[in-house]
Chains A and B, each alone.
Chain A
Amino acid sequence: MVMACRVVNKRRHMGLQQLSSFAETGRTFLGPLKSSKFIIDEECHESVLISSTVRLLESLDLTSAVGQLLNEAVQAQNNTYRTGISTLLFLVGAWSSAVEECLHLGVPISIIVSVMSEGLNFCSEEVVSLHVPVHNIFDCMDSTKTFSQLETFSVSLCPFLQVPSDTDLIEELHGLKDVASQTLTISNLSGRPLKSYELFKPQTKVEADNNTSRTLKNSLLADTCCRQSILIHSRHFNRTDNTEGVSKPDGFQEHVTATHKTYRCNDLVELAVGLSHGDHSSMKLVEEAVQLQYQNACVQQGNCTKPFMFDISRIFTCCLPGLPETSSCVCPGYITVVSVSNNPVIKELQNQPVRIVLIEGDLTENYRHLGFNKSANIKTVLDSMQLQEDSSEELWANHVLQVLIQFKVNLVLVQGNVSERLIEKCINSKRLVIGSVNGSVMQAFAEAAGAVQVAYITQVNEDCVGDGVCVTFWRSSPLDVVDRNSRIAILLKTEGINLVTAVLTNPVTAQMQIKEDRFWTCAYRLYYALKEEKVFLGGGAVEFLCLSCLHILAEQSLKKENHACSGWLHNTSSWLASSLAIYRPTVLKFLANGWQKYLSTLLYNTANYSSEFEASTYIQHHLQNATDSGSPSSYILNEYSKLNSRIFNSDISNKLEQIPRVYDVVTPKIEAWRRALDLVLLALQTDSEIITGHGHTQRNSQELTGFLFL
């Protein structure tokens, strides 16, 4: 065995160059308008339609060491957060080239590493000012839902109402005034160009369908009830708001009052629309799923003692290609497809509570639990000459059926595979057996129907059997939903089951995967927003703040030599610590260039700008304003509130249309930045690639130049 070693860091840095070129492939996926790509396999002439970074990287050849690390970083982000992947990939590219340029200028590697991580850390701390708290979402929902509940609420919380502080009243007045001013602004602002908000809101034109009016109505309703909840929780909010107000420079004070109510999100619909990033149809499904879960939780818990948590593990998707897009919907319970031959069984079982058994493994004769070793050398002999008419599988299937009959079980959910013979037998005796059921679905039925999962049918006893499951066709007319493989969609549910299935339909089979991916992206975005109880002001606001903060930091360190930051260098006693100040502004500017590129690509992708250059100039203009203002975060909030006062937009159809705010998730976003920078810095600090084993023997001699052997 031999080993080869290659120096990757001579003059040009191969790792960084590879990273930039990988990242280049994904730049069109940045932002809400993603153009799909066809990936064609030249060998077998197969092609896939993709429109997300994860799917793109799945199809790319990432076998090089750096490619492998990139894949690892993307997978880690995807597995943990399911969002922020395009951001990660783009920033990997932008920062790789930024780092390369630093290298060209002769900045020592250790300094690039420490200043860049310091800069990003600074950004992550600065963007806290753009947090939008997400509170009381479900309090509001609750009160909009049934009015009687709201009444009981206010009665029980009366003690708080009796001692309202003055600010509360002002706040309420403000809120009322807002509504009044909205009507005024329509006429005033209808003629104005809406250019400036493009920066923060990349093209989210809500289709003027029924959805909009519903959204509007909902949010108005929510508004009235939110005011109620502001009073209830006033102390808490007052505290945070006041501190926020104090930290702002004086000139901004006047806006602070205006933004008080604005930068808080306590309406689920508003939050969902803000997080949809242009994909309203998927987000609508997600939002409905959350509503269903919430309603279910309320019914189950009675008076809602525990705060409601959106449980994403109890959301499922069922993809039905071939149906029109409009058939997509969300239903409580479990929707799955079964073979048409089950048709009569389902007809029989409809309209009656069904008893259920849950099987963990396969339901076949030969299945043994995991970890069981079968002995090969055991032979069974017959004592007498009596002939066995039935095969052993037949005997086994009969036995299973007997157990099912004994316990009056008509529905069996199996996690693994099911024996064909058994399915046949069960259909004949009007019993439904469904295989390949997800573990969480099993768990949901175990909880709701009171069943206990078992590994073998022999384990079944009265305690294991669940009751009260309802089996129906998903649609009233079953022929509607027969797909090409002659399968039909059925719905299983039981009283109080904490399970929601999103049925995703699309007439184009090739787009099914995209549709499903998008649904999950939206679901996870909403999940993290609700879990963290905060979101960012989105649409590029956060990135713009990072960009301007880094510029200000770079300017500052140019003016006065800032030694405080040498602590970022691990090795403080090295000469690098003292020469850090010389290089610091340069490296910070290059880091900021990454954001600049990000923003201009974002703007360019949303098709408002004919070239990236134009977009870049536009950002430059705002950057100048922001740095001149002294406080970029105030500048951004200010721009936002301008935008917000134009709450009605008499665009195109002249219909009243709410421009929803755009939001971003917090931790997944910051983590994506950090992962991107970590990957770039890891590649930067690598000076050689060591190939172990026989890997290099397959390489041709031309490739082998530059290798050293041990």
Chain B
Amino acid sequence: MSRLEAKKPSLCKSEPLTTERVRTTLSVFKRIVTSCYGPSGRLKQLHNGFGGYVCTTSQSSALLSHLLVTHPILKILTTSIQNHVSSFSDCGLFTAILCCNLIENVQRLDLTPTTVIRLNKHLLSLCISYLKSETCGCRIPVDFGSTQILLCFVRSVLTSKPACMLTRKETEHVSALILRAFLLTIPENAEGHIILGKSLIVPLKGQRVIDSTVLPGILIEMSEVQLMRLLPIKKSTALKVALFCTTLSGDISDTGEGTVVVSYGVSLENAALDQLLNLGRQLISDHVDLVLCQKVIHPSLKQFLNMHRIIAIDRIGVTLMEPLTKMTGTQPIGSLGSISPNSYGSVKDVCTAKFGSKHFFHLIPNEATICSLLLCNRNDTAWDELKLTCQTALHVLQLTLKEPWALLGGGCTETHLAAYIRHKTHNDPESILKDDECTQTELQLIAEAFCSALESVVGSLEHDGGEILTDMKYGHLWSVQADSPCVANWPDLLSQCGCGLYNSQEELNWSFLRSTRRPFVPQTCLPHEAVGSASNLTLDCLTAKLSGLQVAVETANLILDLSYVIEDKN
């Protein structure tokens, strides 16, 4: 007997942003992300409360993948940040904080959502066209001919994540490795369009960071016993490789539903093994040197291949399949039938290697665009953070290769941009509004909200009670101890700006970021020699920052535009 239950009516809430619950939830979320921001950001311990794995992090990707949010508004926010992070890796926290700030700032104003959204869009396009223009004063060209700027890039990413627990020496070491790993993925003779290779991160937990290294080719982890059983290959030419993505374990393929009846004395297992041995015979007659299998190879087949001096390695795992295909030029073989000769690929050489307590089988490619970054860190939680950070750094380098510009980091881009917008909206509002229905007053209000949202993003770089200043010439960020004695002493108290490009010995005027100041034209067009001389700049990825800016403004617009939340209660 089935019972029918009447459906519950859907729950409809209007003006969701005005409720107390949403406000507190958003402010808790904002507190979490702002406290993580920057090189001195505070860490979060994420765990399930039952003694499971503890993730110590200050990265948006790790944070958001562990957070389980329920409220639809917060869900919109986290999903769009996650989307941004999955395609750009960098600037996740920036996006989150900016979005929260925008929502908060606009709510204080008494303007209709339509006006706010329209003006926000105008300001966004103003920002983007400025950051992309030749006159932009907060970006520098990236010269791939020298390692200096590239190392600055990597270092900026590494130092912004304190949970990696790197010392200065270790940071330098890992930066150099990341750069090498990146350079190894660029094909040597590229004509037309380049297809980048891949850097695989191989875990080696428990070892010293300084023991990390980069090797061209692929490392397959094996037990010592397995490795010692491998026969030494003596061959001067390249080795012929067969790569299987199907299992060679000799199990009987799925028979579907129903029962298979076999008569006594017939062994299906033996039949399957015979089929495998036939396959082995073909491999031998095709003069294959190396058989790699994603899954399991039947021990008898392995023994058979070994007898004919073929190295057989199984249980490679799905993650290595794509890089292996790329590197060896094989077609993964998916059936036990006959193998077409063009499925085979080749490697230059193979050898064995030992790092820490782990043993590896090392495949050396003919042309290296695949490399392995053997990454060490002392414990699991710091290793996980370091791995994510290295991936971000590699991604940032790739994005920069496409668009060879870097934004000045350390908050200088944000303060500079805010100064530029203030100046534009004051001196040239018509060019922004064009033939829109919005008034100039509305524009001023929204521009102020927008700029202070940008400025409080960089305000969150400060976690130890310092104050943030901006200079009136370049619009860069400077940090100073709270309640510092006297304004006249500033050139002595300050050392350099956030990105490290300018120092305080220049004749500059400073004012607190929180205070109101009259709009000024931040100096555009960076002098070339200034960039060349600075060796230790903090840099941000242009592509990632542009996307972050866009995602933040658009998500804020979307959330501000919500008028009803309809919940299905069934």
Tell me how many residue pairs across A and B have CB atoms closer than 8 Å. Answer: 270
CA distance A77 to B208 in the complex (A): 11
- The answer to whether residues A379 and B262 also contact, given A80-B206, A459-B303, A579-B481 and a CB cut-off of 8 A, is yes
CA distance A343 to B300 in the complex (A): 34
Q: Residues of A contacting B51 with CB < 8 Å?
A: 62-64, 67-68
Helix, strand, loop or mixed for chain B's interface? loop
Judge whether A221 is part of the interface by a CB distance below 8 angstroms. Answer: no
Q: Residues of B contacting A455 with CB < 8 Å?
A: 299-300
Judge whether A72 is part of the interface by a CB distance below 8 angstroms. Answer: yes
Judge whether B6 is part of the interface by a CB distance below 8 angstroms. Answer: no
The answer to whether B263 touches A380, judged by C-beta atoms less than 8 angstroms apart, is yes
Q: Which residue of B lies closest to A15 (CB)?
A: B45
The answer to whether B40 touches A573, judged by C-beta atoms less than 8 angstroms apart, is no
Q: Residues of B contacting A109 with CB < 8 Å?
A: 40, 42, 463-464
CA distance A540 to B237 in the complex (A): 57
CA distance A255 to B479 in the complex (A): 52
Judge whether B499 is part of the interface by a CB distance below 8 angstroms. Answer: yes
Q: Smallest distance from the beta carbon of B505 to chain A beta carbons, Å?
A: 14
Q: Smallest distance from the beta carbon of A401 to chain B beta carbons, Å?
A: 20
Judge whether A710 is part of the interface by a CB distance below 8 angstroms. Answer: yes
CB-CB contacts below 8 Å: A650-692 with B: 671, 674-675, 678-679, 681-682, 685-692
Q: How many residues of A contact B (CB 8 A)?
A: 92
Q: Smallest distance from the beta carbon of B127 to chain A beta carbons, Å?
A: 24
The answer to whether B70 touches A69, judged by C-beta atoms less than 8 angstroms apart, is no
CA distance A574 to B167 in the complex (A): 18
Q: Which residue of A lies closest to B410 (CB)?
A: A573
Judge whether B565 is part of the interface by a CB distance below 8 angstroms. Answer: no
Most buried by B among A3, A72, A575: A575
The answer to whether A69 touches B259, judged by C-beta atoms less than 8 angstroms apart, is no
Q: Residues of B contacting A5 with CB < 8 Å?
A: 28, 32
Q: Residues of B contacting A111 with CB < 8 Å?
A: 464
- The answer to whether residues A678 and B481 also contact, given A110-B40, A458-B300 and a CB cut-off of 8 A, is no
CB-CB contacts below 8 Å: B487-513 with A: 493-500
Judge whether B25 is part of the interface by a CB distance below 8 angstroms. Answer: yes
Q: Residues of B contacting A682 with CB < 8 Å?
A: 43, 56, 163, 165, 381-382
CA distance A164 to B45 in the complex (A): 63
CA distance A370 to B266 in the complex (A): 23
The answer to whether A685 touches B42, judged by C-beta atoms less than 8 angstroms apart, is yes
Judge whether A449 is part of the interface by a CB distance below 8 angstroms. Answer: no
Q: Residues of A contacting B252 with CB < 8 Å?
A: 375, 378
Q: Report B425-456 CB contacts with A as 1/0, cut-off 8 Å.
A: 00000000000000000000000000000000
CB-CB contacts below 8 Å: B248-270 with A: 249-252, 254-255, 257-266, 268
The answer to whether A571 touches B47, judged by C-beta atoms less than 8 angstroms apart, is no
Q: Which residue of A lies closest to B538 (CB)?
A: A573
Q: Which residue of A lies closest to B467 (CB)?
A: A575
Q: Smallest distance from the beta carbon of B352 to chain A beta carbons, Å?
A: 15
The answer to whether B251 touches A577, judged by C-beta atoms less than 8 angstroms apart, is no
Q: Residues of B contacting A108 with CB < 8 Å?
A: 464-465
CB-CB contacts below 8 Å: A1-21 with B: 1-3, 5, 8-9, 15
Q: Residues of B contacting A452 with CB < 8 Å?
A: 229, 303
Q: Report A566-609 CB contacts with B as 1/0, cut-off 8 Å.
A: 01101111111111000000000000000000000000000000
Q: Report B544-562 CB contacts with A as 1/0, cut-off 8 Å.
A: 0000000000000000000
Q: Residues of A contacting B479 with CB < 8 Å?
A: 573-575
Q: Report B18-56 CB contacts with A as 1/0, cut-off 8 Å.
A: 000000110011001001001110111111111111101
Q: Smallest distance from the beta carbon of B514 to chain A beta carbons, Å?
A: 16
CA distance A203 to B392 in the complex (A): 53
Q: Smallest distance from the beta carbon of B177 to chain A beta carbons, Å?
A: 18
Most buried by A among B32, B44, B49: B49
Q: Which residue of A lies closest to B223 (CB)?
A: A439
CA distance A625 to B93 in the complex (A): 52
CA distance A374 to B53 in the complex (A): 34
Judge whether B315 is part of the interface by a CB distance below 8 angstroms. Answer: yes
Interface-facing stretch out of B61-69, B102-110, B193-201, B322-330: B61-69
Q: Which residue of A lies closest to B296 (CB)?
A: A371
Judge whether A402 is part of the interface by a CB distance below 8 angstroms. Answer: no
The answer to whether B251 touches A571, judged by C-beta atoms less than 8 angstroms apart, is no
Q: Residues of B contacting A379 with CB < 8 Å?
A: 259-262
Judge whether B221 is part of the interface by a CB distance below 8 angstroms. Answer: no
Judge whether A696 is part of the interface by a CB distance below 8 angstroms. Answer: yes
Judge whether A564 is part of the interface by a CB distance below 8 angstroms. Answer: no
Judge whether A396 is part of the interface by a CB distance below 8 angstroms. Answer: no
- The answer to whether residues A687 and B42 also contact, given A2-B68, A692-B48 and a CB cut-off of 8 A, is yes
Judge whether A246 is part of the interface by a CB distance below 8 angstroms. Answer: no
Q: Report B509-539 CB contacts with A as 1/0, cut-off 8 Å.
A: 0000000000000000000000000001010
Judge whether A249 is part of the interface by a CB distance below 8 angstroms. Answer: no
CB-CB contacts below 8 Å: B380-414 with A: 380-382, 410
Judge whether B205 is part of the interface by a CB distance below 8 angstroms. Answer: yes
CA distance A399 to B373 in the complex (A): 50
Q: Which residue of A lies closest to B27 (CB)?
A: A708
The answer to whether A117 touches B249, judged by C-beta atoms less than 8 angstroms apart, is no
Q: Residues of B contacting A110 with CB < 8 Å?
A: 40, 463-464
Contact of B260 among A77, A375, A568, A686 (CB under 8 A): A375
Judge whether A377 is part of the interface by a CB distance below 8 angstroms. Answer: yes
Q: Which residue of A lies closest to B383 (CB)?
A: A76
CB-CB contacts below 8 Å: B140-184 with A: 159, 162-163, 165, 167-169, 171
The answer to whether B464 touches A689, judged by C-beta atoms less than 8 angstroms apart, is no
Judge whether B378 is part of the interface by a CB distance below 8 angstroms. Answer: yes
Judge whether B334 is part of the interface by a CB distance below 8 angstroms. Answer: no
CA distance A371 to B499 in the complex (A): 54
Q: Smallest distance from the beta carbon of A702 to chain B beta carbons, Å?
A: 16
Judge whether A326 is part of the interface by a CB distance below 8 angstroms. Answer: no
CA distance A8 to B261 in the complex (A): 65
Judge whether A79 is part of the interface by a CB distance below 8 angstroms. Answer: yes
Judge whether B190 is part of the interface by a CB distance below 8 angstroms. Answer: no
The answer to whether A113 touches B162, judged by C-beta atoms less than 8 angstroms apart, is yes
- The answer to whether residues A692 and B40 also contact, given A443-B225, A671-B208 and a CB cut-off of 8 A, is no
- The answer to whether residues A571 and B159 also contact, given A371-B249, A381-B264 and a CB cut-off of 8 A, is yes
The answer to whether B410 touches A691, judged by C-beta atoms less than 8 angstroms apart, is no
Q: Report A98-109 CB contacts with B as 1/0, cut-off 8 Å.
A: 000000000011
Q: Residues of A contacting B207 with CB < 8 Å?
A: 80
- The answer to whether residues A696 and B49 also contact, given A3-B68, A108-B464, A685-B162 and a CB cut-off of 8 A, is yes
Contact of B38 among A369, A373, A446, A571 (CB under 8 A): A571
Judge whether B15 is part of the interface by a CB distance below 8 angstroms. Answer: no
Q: Residues of A contacting B125 with CB < 8 Å?
A: none
The answer to whether A690 touches B45, judged by C-beta atoms less than 8 angstroms apart, is yes
CA distance A117 to B254 in the complex (A): 58
Judge whether B367 is part of the interface by a CB distance below 8 angstroms. Answer: no
CA distance A379 to B299 in the complex (A): 25
CA distance A383 to B263 in the complex (A): 6
Q: Smallest distance from the beta carbon of A413 to chain B beta carbons, Å?
A: 13
CA distance A200 to B169 in the complex (A): 32
CA distance A3 to B40 in the complex (A): 25
The answer to whether A378 touches B259, judged by C-beta atoms less than 8 angstroms apart, is yes
Judge whether B115 is part of the interface by a CB distance below 8 angstroms. Answer: no
Closest 3 CB pairs of A and B: A695-B49, A371-B296, A63-B51
A–B Cβ pairs within 8 angstroms, 16 of them: A65-B54, A68-B51, A111-B464, A377-B258, A379-B259, A568-B168, A570-B171, A571-B38, A573-B497, A678-B165, A687-B35, A688-B35, A690-B44, A693-B48, A693-B49, A710-B28
Q: A691-B49, A710-B70 are in contact. List 14 more A-B contacts (CB 8 A).
A: A2-B70, A76-B378, A110-B40, A372-B298, A453-B229, A455-B299, A459-B299, A575-B481, A576-B464, A674-B378, A678-B382, A687-B42, A695-B48, A710-B67
Could you list which residues of chain B lie within 8 angstroms of chain A, going by C-beta atoms?
Answer: 24-25, 28-29, 32, 35, 38-40, 42-54, 56, 63, 66-71, 74, 159, 162-163, 165, 167-169, 171, 205-208, 223-225, 228-229, 247, 249-252, 254-255, 257-266, 268, 295-296, 298-300, 303, 307, 314-315, 356-357, 378-382, 410, 462-467, 478-481, 493-500, 536, 538
